[in-house]
């Protein structure tokens, strides 16, 4: 099982060059049954990452390009009247896939955004009185352009909380960029990828991620972090209990990727930037720090008990 | 209720009751033992407890038995017996946690009854062990899933925590005079001198090892043959036994021509009699007592608690040079009738053949010395003419025989004389630098009144066995077999051990048991609490106890919120501190593996060990709880790492 996980990682690293940390975080998020928000400029490989992961994991892949005129029905699906049968027939929308890439989610209106987010939260959609379950595993990767770009609707904090992790791709380093520039077109490679896991294996891994042991000592550490964000005046508001749960779930999945059966403080520290960067907002002099630096500060401020 | 808990309760009650077995009526001891065996068997075999009506029957019958035995249910003996029986019976209706709780508290309460009988160090140690068992059982009752060893540890910690409270209570609890429990007539029943002397009474007493009193001299102690500790003075002879008689008009004694004073401190064991012991003749005393016309010191109340007093005596003196005729007449009393005719005749012959009283005394002593008298503990029985039988037939006796016969002869020769009982000598404890006077040092001698000299001490025993006076009982007796082992010639180490133990017991007596209201006031005034009232003392005591409890509470509350590192974590933190000492401090937020990697990079020679240690530590601290073996292994390795 761990062998196939390693294969997944290796294969993903061949498509997205020089971003092993992002790949592992994305994978951890998926194993922890959370959803991923990638925030960065266009063209740094967000779509490639999502598509590549879907292929590698053998998941059905759907992409929804969010635009300002996107309607909830475009995401969820519609019932269409069939003249020959005289009945309405449901045409599922792109959300009915195991991996959904919601591209540039902040370009759509809040109405369309919330349709997606509610589906993410509840793992099911209710259309015209009928409740329909979404497939399992169900994994949403949303991408977002930085908010200062024109014509975007920034996701409110309450909605951001529904993403387990938010990561940034960042520019590739020189070596990776060289490989990218000199290599074959990524889309071609993605199309040729072989799945390294089947569904049952993936579900099993998700189950195992939930079973990774968490010791009281580690819970002390997580609670110390949560307490710190709530007591310290440098943040507008502290981390929610849901954030704590997300941190723990992600750390468990990370420990699984590290092939350990218990969570270590290092696992928490590894996922912590992804967990807090879209949840914590600094005030005063700390407001100038970017989210990575803010997370670093937080890690260094809390002693491991 | 679990079996181990019941066995724990059984053991608690057993340990509380066991020392009482010595003085409980035999049938009560048997009843208690039987009930406990029955309870143990019921527990062992898992059978049901007996019916209530049966227990009620046993209770009523037992109580009736106690009433029949003691004719009361109150007082020390009957009360303790009743308590022990009821506590044992409570074992038989041990059904739920509430009963167990009652039993634990009951055991805590009735444990004190043991102090009614003995307050020695071994008793205190034994009761401490008993308390330990009770508290361990109590901990078991409160937390069922703790193993025996940690349970004992908790109990020990609890008892240790009680120590400061104990000290405060001990120092500040207002003392009352006499035994605390207010049963003075019961307080102590010990062997000791009586004011009644008959042939054999002192030789029986001489077999007792019990301590009568301890003396420490200020300065040079007197010679051994001057250590006559005066007790009851006996005037009245009925042909067999000597009794004090009654002094019709007490007169104040008058001592003249005194020599050098001797100062000393006596710690008298309680003997339930009025008299105190002092060297002949006593002058000053640190406590209140009456000096009688025959130079005895009498307390108003019976000495039923250990008593400490300082005294001054003069060993060279003339006592009552002018004695009242009434007293002199008393000192010539002889049994009525014609008992002991031969002794009377002998005395008449001496009177006829001597020029003065002193001459007769010398003649008598020479008689005892020359006529083949034997000093022995095992004197043959005497007939109705006890003096005649002793003087002319058996010629074997202990000091009471000689004193009795001597005084009889003197009186028959018309010399005023009386018997004085008390103790002679003592054993020097060079560990504690004091003398121990035991019951085996009990002695009887005579006093004669001679014109121009007053009352003069004459010890006829000295004429037969001078060693008794000069070196002690064991040196004087030829047949030592009857003596207690320690009075013969024990090996030196045993003597030393005994001296050490007695010195310890003396300290215990002086400072723990002897901490009475007087010492309490003295001690407190040294602490700056001068002329303190008992109300204030009680207030201070409550304040002290409150303070101690508050400190404990504060400490424990703090502990509740700051969890102490466990052994594994402590070892890791120690290791980190050691590495920090060599210039590689661990940041507070640094996880073990991250830190190990950093150390490994900086100190390649440590790399393998530290990474391995960090992995082990992570597994132990954050991993699935594992076995103790891995823990020990880690601790060992962490200790062994050379930084």
User: Both B9 and B130 in a single domain?
Assistant: yes
Write b or e for each residue in B150-182: b if 16 or more Cβ atoms lie within 10 A of its Cβ, otherwise e: ebbebbeeeeeeeebeeebeebbeebeebbeee
Cα separation, A143 vs A138, whole angstroms: 16
**Domain assignment present for B556:** no
**Domain assignment present for B184:** no
C-beta atoms of A300 and B589 within 8 A: yes
Q: Which residues contact B240 (CB under 8 A, 6 or more apart)?
A: B198, B199, B386
Give the catalytic positions of B in this structure. Answer: 399, 443, 459
pLDDT tens series, chain A, 305 aa: 567 888 888 888 888 888 888 889 999 999 999 999 988 887 788 888 888 888 888 888 888 998 889 888 888 888 888 888 888 888 888 999 989 998 888 888 888 888 888 888 888 888 878 888 888 888 999 888 775 667 778 887 777 888 999 988 888 888 888 888 887 777 778 778 888 888 888 888 999 999 999 998 899 999 999 999 998 888 888 888 989 999 999 999 999 998 888 999 999 999 999 999 888 888 877 777 777 888 888 898 888 87
Backbone angles phi, psi at A240, to 5 degrees: -80, 165
User: What are the helix (H) ranges across B371-398?
Assistant: 386-388
Tell me the chain A residues in contact with residue B621 when contact means C-beta distances shorter than 8 Å. Answer: 215, 217
CB-CB contact of B20 with B84 (8 Å): yes
User: Both B58 and B132 in a single domain?
Assistant: yes
Q: How many domains does chain B have?
A: 3
Cα separation, B518 vs B177, whole angstroms: 9
User: Both B133 and B245 in a single domain?
Assistant: no
Numbered residues of chain A with Cβ closer than 8 Å to any chain B Cβ: 213, 215, 217-218, 220, 261-266, 269, 299-305
User: What are the helix (H) ranges across chain A?
Assistant: 2-15, 20-31, 46-57, 72-76, 110-122, 157-160, 174-182, 186-192, 199-211, 216-231, 241-257, 265-276, 291-301
Q: Kindly state the tokens that stand for B632.
A: 């020990």
CB atoms within 10 A of CB A195: 16
CB-CB contact of B216 with B270 (8 Å): no
Q: What is the pLDDT of residues B432-468, one digit of tens each?
A: 888 999 888 889 999 999 988 889 999 988 888 888 7
Final residue of a domain: which of B423, B456, B487? B487
User: Class of the A2-199 domain?
Assistant: alpha beta
Cα separation, A23 vs A5, whole angstroms: 12
Numbered residues of chain B with Cβ closer than 8 Å to any chain A Cβ: 563, 569, 587-594, 618-619, 621-625
CB atoms within 10 A of CB B424: 24
Q: What is the pLDDT of residue B125?
A: 94
| Residue range of the domain that includes B406 | 201-487
B238: Cα separation from own chain's centroid: 37
Which of A220, A301, A304 is opposite residue B591, by nearest beta carbon?
A: A304
Backbone angles phi, psi at B197, to 5 degrees: -125, 125
**Domain assignment present for B169:** no
User: Both B267 and B404 in a single domain?
Assistant: yes
Q: Kindly state the tokens that stand for B591.
A: 């996880």
C-beta atoms of A263 and B622 within 8 A: yes
User: Both B231 and B306 in a single domain?
Assistant: yes
Q: Considering only A280-289, B277-286, B533-542, which range has the smallest mean pLDDT? A: A280-289
Cα separation, B49 vs B57, whole angstroms: 15
User: Both B126 and B206 in a single domain?
Assistant: no
Domain boundaries, chain A: 2-199, 212-301
Q: Please report where in the chains the tokens 């530590």 appear, as a residue.
A: B617
Nearest to A146 by CA among A38, A286, A289, A16: A38
Q: What is the pLDDT of residues B37-46, one digit of tens each?
A: 999 999 999 8
Report CA Rg, chain B. 35
Q: What is the pLDDT of residues B404-436, one digit of tens each?
A: 999 999 999 999 999 999 998 888 888 888 899
Q: Please, how many CA atoms are within 13 Å of residue B539, restricted to the half-sphere of its CB? A: 6
User: Both B126 and B267 in a single domain?
Assistant: no
C-beta atoms of B624 and A213 within 8 A: yes
Distance from CA of A21 to the nearest CA of B (A): 16
Write b or e for each residue in B332-345: b if 16 or more Cβ atoms lie within 10 A of its Cβ, otherwise e: eebbeeebbeebbe
Tell me the chain B residues in contact with residue A261 when contact means C-beta distances shorter than 8 Å. Answer: 623-624
Nearest to A127 by CA among A101, A159, A91: A91
User: Class of the A212-301 domain?
Assistant: mainly alpha
Tell me the chain B residues in contact with residue A304 when contact means C-beta distances shorter than 8 Å. Answer: 588-591
Final residue of a domain: which of B145, B163, B186? B145
User: Both B224 and B368 in a single domain?
Assistant: yes
**Domain assignment present for B15:** yes
Q: Kindly state the tokens that stand for B98.
A: 């509430």
Provide the phi-psi class of B12: left if phi over 0, else alpha when psi is between -120 and 50, else beta: alpha
User: What are the helix (H) ranges across B71-111?
Assistant: 75-91, 97-110
Strands (E), B125-200: none
**Domain assignment present for B156:** no
Chain B residue with Cα closest to A269: B591
ipTM for the whole predicted complex goes beyond 0.95: no
Tell me the chain B residues in contact with residue A269 when contact means C-beta distances shorter than 8 Å. Answer: 589, 591, 594
Backbone angles phi, psi at B5, to 5 degrees: -65, -45
Angle at alpha carbon of residue B584, lines to B579 and B589, rounded to 5°? 100
User: Both B115 and B40 in a single domain?
Assistant: yes
Final residue of a domain: which of B129, B145, B161? B145
C-beta atoms of A302 and B589 within 8 A: yes
Q: Please report where in the chains the tokens 């990682």 appear, as a residue.
A: A9
Q: At what angle do helices B357-370 and B341-352 cross, to 10 degrees?
A: 130
> Please, which residues bridge with residue B457 across strands?
B447
**Domain assignment present for B533:** no
Three-state DSSP at B366 gives helix
Cα separation, A38 vs A143, whole angstroms: 5
User: Both B451 and B597 in a single domain?
Assistant: no
Strand order in the sheet with B255-256: B255-256, B318-319, B454-458, B442-450, B417-424, B228-234, B278-279
């Amino acid at each position: 099982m761990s062998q196939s996980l390693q294969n997944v990682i290796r294969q993903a690293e061949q498509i997205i060059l020089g971003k092993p940390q992002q790949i592992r975080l994305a994978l951890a998020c998926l194993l922890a049954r959370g959803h991923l928000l990638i925030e960065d400029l266009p063209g740094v490989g967000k779509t490639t990452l999502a598509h590549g992961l879907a292929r590698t994991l053998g998941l059905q892949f759907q992409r929804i390009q969010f635009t300002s005129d996107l309607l909830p029905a475009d995401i969820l699906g519609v019932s269409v009247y069939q003249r020959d049968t005289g009945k309405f027939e449901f045409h599922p929308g792109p959300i009915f896939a195991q991996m959904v890439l919601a591209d540039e989610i902040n370009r759509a209106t809040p109405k369309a955004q919330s349709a997606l987010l509610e589906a993410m939260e509840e793992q099911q959609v209710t259309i015209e009185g009928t409740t329909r379950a979404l497939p399992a595993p169900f994994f949403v990767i949303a991408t977002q352009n930085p908010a200062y770009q024109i014509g975007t609707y920034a996701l409110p904090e309450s909605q951001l909380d529904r993403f387990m992790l938010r990561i940034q791709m960042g520019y590739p380093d020189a070596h990776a960029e060289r490989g990218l520039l000199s290599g074959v077109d990524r889309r071609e490679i993605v199309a040729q990828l072989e799945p390294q896991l089947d569904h049952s294996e993936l579900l099993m891994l998700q189950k195992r991620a939930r079973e990774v042991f968490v010791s009281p000592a580690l819970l002390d550490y997580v609670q110390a972090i949560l307490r710190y964000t709530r007591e310290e005046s440098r943040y507008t508001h502290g981390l929610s209990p849901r954030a704590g749960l997300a941190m723990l779930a992600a750390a468990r999945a990370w420990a699984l990727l590290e092939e350990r059966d218990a969570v270590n403080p290092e696992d928490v520290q590894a996922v912590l930037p992804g967990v807090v960067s879209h949840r914590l907002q600094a005030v005063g002099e700390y407001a100038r720090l970017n989210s990575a630096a803010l997370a670093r500060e937080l890690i260094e401020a809390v002693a491991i008990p | 209720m679990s079996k181990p808990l019941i066995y724990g309760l059984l053991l608690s009650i057993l340990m509380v009751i066991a020392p009482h077995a010595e003085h409980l009526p035999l049938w009560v001891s048997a009843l208690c033992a039987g009930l406990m065996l029955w309870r143990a068997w019921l527990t062992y075999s898992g059978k049901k407890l007996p019916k209530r009506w049966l227990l009620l029957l046993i209770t009523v019958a037992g109580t009736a038995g106690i009433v029949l035995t003691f004719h009361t249910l109150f007082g020390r003996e009957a009360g303790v017996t009743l308590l022990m029986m009821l506590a044992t019976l409570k074992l038989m209706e041990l059904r739920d946690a509430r009963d167990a709780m009652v039993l634990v508290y009951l055991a805590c309460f009735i444990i004190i009854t043991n102090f009614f009988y003995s307050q020695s160090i071994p008793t205190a140690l034994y009761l401490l062990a008993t308390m330990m068992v009770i508290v361990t059982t109590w901990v078991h009752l409160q937390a069922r899933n703790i193993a025996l060893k940690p349970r004992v540890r908790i109990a020990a910690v609890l008892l240790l925590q009680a120590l400061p409270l104990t000290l405060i209570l001990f120092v500040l609890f207002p003392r009352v005079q006499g035994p605390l429990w207010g049963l003075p007539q019961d307080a102590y029943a010990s062997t000791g001198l009586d004011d009644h002397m008959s042939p054999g009474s002192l030789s029986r007493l001489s077999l007792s090892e019990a301590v009568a009193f301890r003396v420490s001299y200020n300065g040079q102690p007197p010679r051994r043959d001057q250590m006559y500790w005066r007790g009851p003075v006996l005037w009245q002879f009925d042909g067999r036994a000597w009794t004090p008689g009654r002094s019709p008009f007490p007169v104040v004694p008058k001592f003249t021509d005194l020599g050098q004073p001797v100062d000393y401190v006596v710690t008298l064991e309680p003997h339930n009699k009025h008299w105190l012991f002092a060297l002949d003749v006593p002058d000053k005393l640190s406590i209140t007592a009456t000096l009688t016309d025959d130079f005895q010191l009498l307390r108003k109340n019976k000495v039923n608690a250990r008593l400490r007093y300082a005294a001054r005596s003069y060993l060279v003196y003339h006592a009552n040079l002018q004695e009242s005729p009434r007293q002199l007449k008393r000192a010539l009393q002889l049994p009525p009738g014609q008992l002991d005719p031969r002794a009377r005749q002998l005395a008449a012959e001496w009177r006829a053949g001597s020029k003065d009283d002193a001459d007769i005394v010398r003649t008598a002593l020479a008689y005892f010395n020359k006529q083949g008298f034997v000093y022995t503990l095992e004197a043959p029985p005497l007939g109705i003419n006890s003096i005649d039988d002793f003087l002319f037939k058996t010629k074997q006796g202990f000091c009471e025989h000689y004193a009795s016969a001597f005084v009889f002869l003197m009186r028959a020769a018309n010399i005023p004389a009386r018997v004085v009982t008390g103790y002679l000598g003592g054993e020097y404890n060079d560990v504690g630098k004091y003398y121990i006077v035991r019951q085996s040092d009990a002695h009887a001698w005579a006093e004669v009144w001679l014109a121009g000299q007053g009352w003069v001490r004459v010890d006829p025993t000295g004429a037969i066995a001078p060693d008794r006076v000069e070196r002690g009982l064991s040196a004087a007796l030829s047949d030592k077999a009857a003596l207690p082992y320690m009075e013969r010639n024990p090996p030196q180490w045993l003597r030393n051990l005994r001296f050490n133990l007695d010195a310890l017991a003396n300290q215990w007596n002086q400072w723990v048991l002897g901490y009475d209201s007087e010492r309490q006031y003295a001690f407190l005034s040294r602490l700056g609490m001068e002329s303190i009232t008992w109300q204030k003392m009680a207030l201070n005591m409550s304040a002290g106890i409150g303070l101690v409890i508050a400190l404990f509470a504060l400490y424990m509350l703090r502990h509740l919120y700051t969890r102490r590192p466990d052994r594994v974590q402590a070892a890791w933190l120690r290791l980190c501190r050691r590495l920090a000492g060599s210039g590689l401090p661990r940041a507070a937020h640094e996880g073990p593996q991250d830190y190990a990697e950093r150390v490994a990079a900086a100190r390649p020679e440590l790399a393998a060990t530290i990474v391995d240690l960090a992995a082990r530590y992570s597994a132990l601290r954050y991993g699935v709880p594992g076995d103790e073996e891995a823990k020990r292994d880690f601790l060992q390795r962490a200790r062994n790492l050379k930084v």
